[in-house]
């Protein structure tokens, strides 16, 4: 009744989601049941449901001109629960979204206790989407189930039918019945058979189990693990896809296998709460994936994002020939705070992902569509930053902004020495905090800062000389992000090699009230943070560019934009024009 009463208080707003498609919907930003003053941490252009709990992104796909995002959702509370469903939203541009009814809910003995994560695959030729998802059955075992659309002519795919042969996969020998979940997007081998991997655990060993099928219904397990790691616990949310090796930013269709691609296996390690990825070689006729390096559990392991980012899912979009990645960003306040807010969990801005031209790591960058939200623009050029400089970026809405800055570096030979071997970047960032002066750095941005800088989130670089070249430490320091004490203020960081001839380095941050997504050196390193300022809220938030290193440097160019609100609302009065 509360929601109905609040709906009567607000007007229906309309928004145009795509050229040639006029859509009317109730705007979440009008419907949201709490005023901004009471909800300072609710985002304006990141995806989240109107209320309650959200975690893993599920089954993203592009179908007949419409983008689909499914997600793990507790419709009853702002905490994880015993009845998880698949929420469902659609979009024409990946930024403005229409919430639909839940797509998959517990109903049969194979999923009566929850519908957990999974993936979508579109069968070529037929253009028929298939969803594989994990059900928690009546014995509390984890099994894999199949669902298909009721009506393929409905581009919103509002209704899904569960297959009569569910479950289509059950825990095989050597896999714990309560740690067998999260089927990947399927790919087709040269023999025409479909393949998926499912995350699993046996004792301390994590596994990705390979299944094959001719018809997407009858699946046969491969006796050899597709991938295994010791002393890690369960492998969650596996994702497997090819990338071009020639430095192209184009995406590759998931089933592609040829000499021009390598493969990426992503594993979400529950014990670590991070998403790790491995580059390697794969041939479908040989069965398993051979990574270049094994998981070590150290900072040398590659991650999508070195901050808050988990249970990610990617998909290939053929319309624009790109691979798109989403990740879940959980809260850093308390469960009680979430209950009081009435919601928990965000999705990152969708990112395009490709292999760096070095062939050693992936690059991620916010989709170009987010730029449609850019409003008032501020540009700064050729600004010299002496030691101890703070330059305010004024004239924009600093609590809701997109900022890109390019720094010109001094001579790298002057950098301090650091042996990166065995160094924990996160620990180093907590020690070499933003206010502690070095030679080249720290320099970067102070986001969501109060006027007196008592509160700020520092995203910064520091350059070091190493025995075989130069390295850059990138940090996101939350230690001063809020005067509140009941928060997780973990500082995040990563180290990357840099070209000894490097003259500039870039930093981009997407700032949205309680989230800061940062992309260093063109997206070679990404760090996402959740922060909850008590002073730097809405119009009282400020943005600064700074240099606390002893060597001066130059802001070659800085561009910052106020960001408009994305239109994210419930389906209603839909009309096509």
pLDDT tens-digit profile of 337-351? 999 999 999 999 999
The verdict on whether omega for the bond into residue 277 sits within 30 degrees of 0, i.e. cis, is: no
Strand order in the sheet with 142-149: 115-123, 128-136, 142-149, 160-162
Dig out the tokens for 135 from the structure.
């059900």
Give CA–CA dist 542/461, Å, rounded.
20
Comparing CA positions, the residue from 446, 445, 448 lying closest to residue 537 is: 448
Comparing CA positions, the residue from 149, 153, 207 lying closest to residue 175 is: 207
Whether residue 233 is contained in a domain is answered as no
Kindly write down the DSSP assignment for every residue of 446-501, as one continuous string. EEEE-TTSSS-EEEEEEEEEETTEEEEEEEEE-TTS-S-SSS----EEEEEEE-TT
Give CA–CA dist 58/53, Å, rounded.
14
Whether residue 1 is contained in a domain is answered as no
**Last residue of some domain: 116, 135, 168?**
168
Give CA–CA dist 372/350, Å, rounded.
14
Give CA–CA dist 186/131, Å, rounded.
10
pLDDT tens-digit profile of 522-541? 999 999 999 999 999 999 99
β pairing state of 97-99 and 568-571: parallel
Query: Which residues in 318-399 belong to E strands, given as ranges?
Result: 322-329, 343-344, 346-347, 351-355, 362-366, 374-385, 389-392
Whether residue 425 is contained in a domain is answered as yes
Whether residue 177 is contained in a domain is answered as no
Question: Residue 72 is part of a domain; what is its CATH number?
Answer: 2.115.10.20
Comparing CA positions, the residue from 555, 478, 554, 471 lying closest to residue 518 is: 478
**Last residue of some domain: 119, 147, 168?**
168
Which helix H or strand E contains 72, and what residues bound it? strand 66-74
**Last residue of some domain: 168, 185, 204?**
168
Dig out the tokens for 314 from the structure.
């990617």
Whether residue 490 is contained in a domain is answered as yes
What is the tally of structural domains in the chain?
A: 2
Question: Residue 514 is part of a domain; what is its CATH number?
Answer: 2.60.120.560
- Burial of 386 by CB count in 10 Å (0-12 exposed, 13-18 middle, 19+ buried)? exposed
Dig out the tokens for 176 from the structure.
């714990």
pLDDT of residue 283: 79
Comparing CA positions, the residue from 380, 408, 372 lying closest to residue 396 is: 380
Give CA–CA dist 553/533, Å, rounded.
29
Kindly write down the DSSP assignment for every residue of 9-35, as one continuous string. HS---EEEEETTEEEEEEEHHHH-SS-
Give CA–CA dist 106/114, Å, rounded.
5
- Domain range for residue 468? 376-563
Could you tell me if 460 and 445 are in contact, meaning their C-beta atoms sit under 8 angstroms apart? yes
**Which residues, given as ranges, of the chain have pLDDT below 70?**
1-37, 433, 573-577
Could you tell me if 147 and 172 are in contact, meaning their C-beta atoms sit under 8 angstroms apart? no
Residue with tokens 């419709």: 75
Give CA–CA dist 459/22, Å, rounded.
40
Secondary structure of residue 213 in the 3-state scheme: strand
Whole-number Cα distances in Å, 529 to 32, 272, 577: 24, 16, 40
Dig out the tokens for 347 from the structure.
């999705």
Give CA–CA dist 540/550, Å, rounded.
30
The backbone region for 320, taken as left when phi is positive above 0, alpha when psi lies in -120 to 50, beta otherwise, is alpha
User: Distance from CA of residue 331 to its chain's centroid?
Assistant: 14
Comparing CA positions, the residue from 523, 558, 509, 544 lying closest to residue 400 is: 509
Long-range CB pairs of 85-89 (<8 Å, 24+ gap) are 85/114, 85/115, 86/58, 86/59, 86/115, 86/133, 87/49, 87/54, 88/157, 88/158, 89/47, 89/49, 89/568
Could you tell me if 399 and 538 are in contact, meaning their C-beta atoms sit under 8 angstroms apart? yes
The verdict on whether omega for the bond into residue 506 sits within 30 degrees of 0, i.e. cis, is: no
pLDDT of residue 30: 38
Please confirm, yes or no, whether 56 is among the known catalytic residues. Answer: yes
pLDDT of residue 22: 37
pLDDT of residue 287: 77
β pairing state of 457-466 and 416-417: parallel
pLDDT of residue 484: 97
Could you tell me if 369 and 94 are in contact, meaning their C-beta atoms sit under 8 angstroms apart? yes
Comparing CA positions, the residue from 454, 442, 461 lying closest to residue 481 is: 454
Give CA–CA dist 527/509, Å, rounded.
9
Could you tell me if 214 and 285 are in contact, meaning their C-beta atoms sit under 8 angstroms apart? no
Secondary structure of residue 137 in the 3-state scheme: coil
Could you tell me if 196 and 185 are in contact, meaning their C-beta atoms sit under 8 angstroms apart? yes
Give CA–CA dist 243/241, Å, rounded.
7
Whether residue 248 is contained in a domain is answered as no
Whether residue 93 is contained in a domain is answered as yes
Name, in order, each residue with C-beta under 8 angstroms of 160's C-beta and a sequence gap of 6 or more: 103, 104, 131, 147, 148, 149, 150
DSSP assigned state of 418? -
Comparing CA positions, the residue from 35, 103, 109 lying closest to residue 72 is: 103
Q: What angle do CA 549, 519, 401 make, to 5 degrees?
A: 90
Could you tell me if 60 and 67 are in contact, meaning their C-beta atoms sit under 8 angstroms apart? yes
Dig out the tokens for 123 from the structure.
């069968």
pLDDT of residue 481: 98
Whether residue 282 is contained in a domain is answered as no
Give CA–CA dist 135/106, Å, rounded.
8
């Amino acid at each position: 009744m509360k929601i109905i009463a609040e709906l009567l208080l607000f007007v229906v707003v309309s928004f145009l989601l795509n050229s040639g498609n006029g859509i009317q919907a109730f705007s979440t930003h009008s419907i949201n049941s709490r005023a901004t003053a009471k909800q300072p941490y609710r985002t304006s252009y990141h995806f989240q449901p109107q209320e309650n709990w959200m975690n893993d992104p599920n089954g993203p796909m592009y179908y007949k001109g419409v983008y689909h995002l499914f997600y793990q959702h507790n419709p009853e509370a702002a905490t994880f629960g015993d009845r998880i469903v698949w929420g469902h939203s659609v979009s024409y541009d990946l930024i403005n979204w229409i919430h639909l009814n839940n797509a998959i809910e517990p109903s049969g003995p194979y999923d009566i206790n929850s519908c957990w994560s999974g993936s979508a695959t579109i069968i070529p030729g037929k253009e028929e989407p298939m969803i594989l998802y994990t059900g928690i059955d009546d014995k509390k075992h984890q099994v894999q189930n199949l669902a298909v659309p009721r009506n393929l002519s409905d581009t919103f795919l509002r209704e899904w039918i569960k297959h009569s042969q569910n479950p289509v996969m059950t825990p095989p020998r050597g896999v714990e019945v309560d740690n067998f979940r999260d089927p990947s997007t399927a790919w087709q081998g040269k023999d025409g058979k479909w393949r998926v991997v499912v995350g699993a655990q046996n004792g301390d060993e994590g596994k990705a189990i390979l299944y094959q099928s001719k018809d997407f219904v009858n699946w046969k397990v491969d006796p050899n693990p597709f991938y295994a790691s010791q002393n890690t616990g369960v492998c969650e949310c596996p994702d497997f896809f090819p990338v071009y090796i020639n430095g192209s930013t184009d995406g590759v269709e998931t089933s592609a296998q040829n000499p021009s691609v390598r493969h990426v296996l992503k594993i979400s390690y529950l014990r670590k709460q991070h998403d790790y990825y491995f580059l390697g070689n794969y041939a479908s006729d040989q069965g398993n994936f051979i990574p270049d390096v094994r998981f070590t559990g150290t900072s040398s392991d590659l991650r999508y994002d070195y901050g808050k980012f988990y249970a990610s899912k990617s998909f290939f979009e053929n319309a624009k020939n790109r691979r798109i990645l989403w990740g879940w960003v959980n809260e850093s306040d308390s469960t009680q705070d979430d209950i009081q807010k009435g919601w928990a969990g965000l999705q990152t801005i969708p990112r395009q992902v490709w292999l760096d031209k070095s062939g050693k790591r992936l690059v991620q960058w916010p989709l170009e569509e987010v730029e449609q939200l850019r409003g008032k623009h501020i540009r700064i050029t050729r600004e010299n930053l002496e030691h101890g400089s703070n330059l305010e970026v004024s004239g924009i809405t600093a609590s809701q902004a997109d900022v890109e800055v390019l720094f010109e570096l001094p001579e790298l030979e002057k950098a301090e020495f650091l042996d990166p071997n065995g160094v924990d970047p996160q620990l180093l960032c907590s020690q070499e905090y933003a206010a502690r002066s070095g030679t080249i750095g720290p320099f970067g941005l102070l986001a969501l800062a109060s006027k007196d800088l008592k509160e700020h989130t520092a995203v910064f670089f520091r350059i070091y000389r190493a025995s075989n070249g130069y390295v850059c430490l990138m940090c996101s320091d939350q230690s001063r992000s809020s005067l509140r004490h009941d928060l997780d203020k973990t500082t995040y960081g990563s180290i990357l090699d840099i070209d000894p001839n490097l003259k500039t380095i870039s930093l981009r941050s997407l700032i949205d009230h309680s989230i800061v997504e940062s992309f260093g050196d063109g997206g070679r390193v990404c760090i996402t943070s959740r922060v909850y300022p008590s002073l730097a809220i809405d119009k009282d938030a400020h943005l600064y560019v700074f240099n606390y290193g002893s060597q001066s440097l130059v802001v070659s160019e800085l561009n910052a934009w106020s960001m408009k609100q994305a239109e994210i609302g419930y389906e209603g009065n839909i009309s096509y024009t």
